[in-house]
Amino acid sequence: MALSTLVATVLCTIVLPVLLFLVAVKLWEVYLIRGRDPSCPRPLPPGSMGLPFIGETLQLLLQRRKFLRMKRQKYGYIYRTHLFGNPTVRVTGAENVRQILLGEHRLVSVQWPASVRTILGSDTLSNVHGALHKSKKKAIMRAFSRDALEQYIPVIQEEVRAAVQEWLQRDSCVLVYPEMKRLMFRIAMRILLGFDPEQIRTDEQQLVEAFEEMIKNLFSLPIDVPFSGLYRGLKARNLIHSKIEENIRKKVEEQSDGTGCKHRDALQQLIDSSKNSAEPFSMQAIKESATELLFGGHETTASTATSLIMFLGLNSEEVVRLRQELLCKEEQGMDLQNLSMEALEQLKYTGCIIKETLRINPPVPGGFRVALKTFELNGYQIPKGWNVIYSICDTHDVAEIPNKEEFQPERFMSKPSGDSSSSSPSSRFQYIPFGGGSRMCVGKEFAKVLLKIFLVEVATQCNWTLLNGPPTMKTGPTVYPVDNLPTKFTPYAPN
């Protein structure tokens, strides 16, 4: 009697719940697979849909690159999954990505996860479409014109130089990644949003912490309840919005009484564009666009600057070659203390170091789209309404180039296999750190200028040693070292 009672208890408390759970997972998989378009003869991509409702979101958030690598190894370059509340197809490989990026408005349309849209807002450049996207992009591109970039150079040099001097004066090690985020945040606040240095000093710590919290929760389950990731992200965003609104009102007042400065930062371009349009002035829309600019303008450059310190710290011979180029240009009359766009364009090998860093560690791992209609991709059907993620990091990983695991900037001195002039239509999509198509990153030239100046200042002032050796890299949402890259900086004295 006791044995039968024990068996019944085990069945009710352990076996039955496990069976019900497995049945639920299977029914969930069957339910989603029914989302395939019966009019298309092609099968769905291979893959798994994970747990009911949450899919494989938690696995992605916890494991990041490890999860993505495992899925790619198991299912190949195109596979299905369920992320952030939506059935999703993840796409890797130059030809597959080419079709996605060039299929904007025809096959796919940009659509970031619900949590990203909620936190950043619906009026951001990355979320709007059609004529509104064109007008916003046009306004922002004015702030990244060659003339505008020329004006930014002294400000960038001033901020980078001050940061480097501070690192050199520290007896203890420098945690590079947090320092890069602060440096790039100050630069973005001054150049993109027009904050003055005193204002930044007053608000910097509070704003940096708020941005950290917002970014940490940008990709979260779309559930807005107290203490959820989305709730914390929105709370942080609201603080950022309040500070940006103060600056917008100040700019509008200065413009009205004629005391505004001549410098046309990106935020001023957005204000002017909004005033000149037929639509009424929207404070919320401008705050959202400014927050997106601040995110794109400092988070990605901080990630890449950290990777630059890491790769050059691990490859001292590349620092030698970098300094040789700078010395050669100085001997030819270049003033490294007062750089210009013309001078930066002459620093070819410096640019190659940045390109190689972006190849191995692209700061943004990919982009999000939604299928506008059912279409075929490499023998599989992508059903209408499903999300499509194109992978930048995986596409770089599988690119057919020699010695791709090694850090070799010189590969970009000649035309690489991913060069746009190559004969293969898809070959240029082997290298896509800034995305591609009509949604290519609008700030890519700004990023290149900023990173070149950063390299010039660091290489001419410092030697540095990585105290922990090669770090483990993680993505969340941009690429960063889990140990924050502790580094010792010492003054560089050229022979």
In a domain, 220, yes or no: yes
Tell me the sheet residues that pair with 55: 51
* 235 assigned to some structural domain: yes
Q: How many Å apart are CA 203 and CA 96, to the nearest integer? A: 44
Q: Answer yes or no: is 29 within a domain.
A: no
Percent of the chain with pLDDT over 90: 52
Total structural domains in the chain? 1
Name the band, by pLDDT with cuts 50, 70 and 90, for residue 150. Answer: very high
Two tokens, residue 209:
């912490």
Predicted TM-score (pTM) of the model is 0.87
Confidence of residue 85 (pLDDT cuts 50, 70, 90): confident
pLDDT given at position 422: 47
134 inside domain: yes
Contact call for residues 356 and 314 (beta carbons, < 8 A): no
What is the Cα 483 distance to its own chain's centre? Answer: 20
The domain in which residue 146 lies consists of 35-491
Residue 141 lies in a domain: yes
Residue 3 lies in a domain: no
The answer to whether 40 is a known ligand-binding residue is no
Question: How confident is the model over 426-439, as a mean pLDDT?
Answer: 88
Weakest mean pLDDT among 89-93, 313-317, 411-415? 411-415
Inside any domain, residue 473? yes
The whole-number pLDDT of residue 193 equals: 86
| Residue type, position 18, single letter | V
Q: Please check whether residue 339 lies inside any domain of the structure.
A: yes
The token pair at 453 is 């100046």
Q: What is the DSSP string of 211-234?
A: HHHHHHTSSS-S--STTSHHHHHH
Whole-number percent of the chain with pLDDT over 70: 88
In angstroms, how far is the first alpha carbon of the chain from the final one? 91
CATH (domain of 315):
1.10.630.10
pLDDT tens per residue, range 3-44: 677 666 655 677 666 665 555 555 555 555 656 778 888 999
The pLDDT confidence band at residue 258, using thresholds 50, 70 and 90, is low
What is the reported pLDDT for 21? 56
Express each pLDDT in 341-398 by its tens digit: 999 999 999 999 999 999 999 999 899 999 999 999 999 999 999 999 999 999 999 9
What local confidence, expressed as pLDDT, does residue 15 receive?
A: 60
